[in-house]
Amino acid sequence: MGERKRISILGATGSVGQSTLDLIERNRTAYEIVALTAYRDVEGLAKAAIAYGAKHAAIGDAERADALASALSETGITTAAGPEAICEAAAMEADWIMAAIVGCAGLKPVMAAVEQGSTVVLANKEPLVSAGDVVLAAAKIHGATILPADSEHNAIFQCFDFERPEGIRRIVLTASGGPFLDRSIEEMRAMTPDQAVAHPNWSMGAKISVDSATLMNKGLELIEADRLFPIAADRIEIIVHRQSVVHSMVEYADGSILAQLGPPDMRTPIAHTLAWPDRMETPMPSLDFAAISRLDFEEPDPVRFPALRLARQSLDRGGAKPAILNAANEEAVAAFLDKRIGFLDIAAIVEDMLDRYDPPAPGSLDDVFAIDTETRMRTRQMMTTKAA
């Protein structure tokens, strides 16, 4: 048996974090858990840290420092709290780090993980959208390997010939279409957070579930794909595929199309990154093609799902636009989940922010954070003025 793989999970209490732990659970002796992190869920974090014998646990909310320390007292597991503690946990030496924090809150931790120079698995897509250039440049400098866990990007990664990208004609990103695919615009206007997070195929955290309902998730993924794969942006296309069986496709110059198929369960793409370049067993059953019986594809409706256009425009314009798109969306989604705005307001608010705020292109990580902070402030202000 080889050396145990040293693993850290940033966002261990979330949907992706738990799927990752589930895979580790099945072959415990192969892994050693270095650090686990969460934001507020002390109980979930402590439970996982004990169950998996983590060396260290960090909680993002500084006010929960004592709660975490007492939950892990006499276990020998070291603890820390606050945003800096998350970055310190990310910087601990490990062979494989899962970045599964939600939103741009994960950007600094992702950078810390990348600077540590091992394999960093990105489920957390928002840092790539807002600061793709900076993250990827740091990976090059520090010799880190970035592997995509997002199911579509993991699919593309498995099909993409990085040695001969000139032979690639296009990437086809598939979208499930989310829970409101067949709803009229009037019906969408009245949708509640509960309805928006009830995804037909995937079980995910609240933020990405809302993003799937607006299709902003696919918009963010378009930008994510542009960052990860050496291909022109206009060669990345989006198609709705309700069954979520084909996770994305790569078309070659000769007309051949390679697709990755699998169950709609994050454990498959995560397992791909966990074992890469080898393969590992997972509990997922083989696809039953007769039961699936058909694969449907359709164009996304640009009228009901304006988020796709906003993301495409942000990518084409470049500069600060992707960071503004992401930050305004994070704030609008939080407001929607909090029932302060309606479902259709999310994209409308993002569009307003993209039109009104036009700072110079960011040249550094600090610039990205400044744009992110300013966008959030302006978005919150705009939402309060509108609500008044």
Q: What share of the chain is helix, strand, coil (3-state, %, to 5)?
A: 50, 15, 35
Decide if residue 65 touches ligand NDP (CB under 6 A): no
3-state secondary structure of 175: strand
173 binds ligand NDP (CB under 6 A): no
Amino acid at 218: K
* 86 forms part of the interface with ligand NDP (CB under 6 A): yes
- Of 38-46, 65-73, 88-96, 365-373, which segment contacts ligand NDP by CB under 6 A? 38-46
Q: Which of 132, 148, 205, 262 binds ligand NDP (CB under 6 A)?
A: 205
* Contact (CB, 8 A) for 236 and 230: no
State in angstroms the smallest separation of the CB of 211 from ligand NDP. 7
Comparing CB distances to Mg ion, the nearer of 264 and 342 is: 264
**Minimum distance of ligand NDP from residue 41's CB (angstroms):** 3
DSSP SS3 for 305 = coil
Select 166 or 194, whichever has its Cβ closest to ligand NDP.
194
Stretch that binds ligand NDP, among 11-19, 178-186, 190-198, 240-248 (CB under 6 A): 11-19
Stretch that binds Mg ion, among 13-21, 91-99, 148-156, 238-246 (CB under 5 A): 148-156
Residue 206, C-beta contacts closer than 8 angstroms, at least 6 positions apart: 193, 197, 337
- Of 345, 353, 359, 347, the closest CA to residue 376 belongs to 353
Q: Which does 146 bind (CB under 5 to 8 A by kind): ligand NDP, Mg ion, none?
A: none
Q: CA angle at residue 315 from 217 to 371, to 5 degrees?
A: 85
Within 10 angstroms of residue 125's Cβ, the number of other Cβ atoms is 29
Of 150 and 330, CB closest to Mg ion: 150
Residue ranges in the chain assigned as alpha helix (H): 15-25, 42-51, 65-71, 83-91, 107-115, 126-142, 151-159, 185-189, 193-197, 206-214, 216-228, 267-275, 289-292, 307-317, 321-337, 345-356, 365-387
Which neighbouring-strand residues pair with 62?
A: none
* Listed ranges 37-45, 235-243, 280-288, 361-369: which one lies at the site for ligand NDP (CB under 6 A): 37-45
Nearer to ligand NDP, 102 or 236 (CB): 102
Shortest Cβ 187–ligand NDP spacing (Å)? 25
Instruction: Tell me which residue of 27, 94, 11 sits closest to 279, measured CA to CA.
Output: 27
Find the shortest distance in angstroms from Cβ 258 to ligand NDP.
Answer: 21
Task: Please give the residue ranges that form the binding site for ligand NDP (CB under 6 A).
Answer: 11-17, 38-41, 60, 86, 100-102, 105, 123-126, 150, 202, 204-205, 207-208, 266
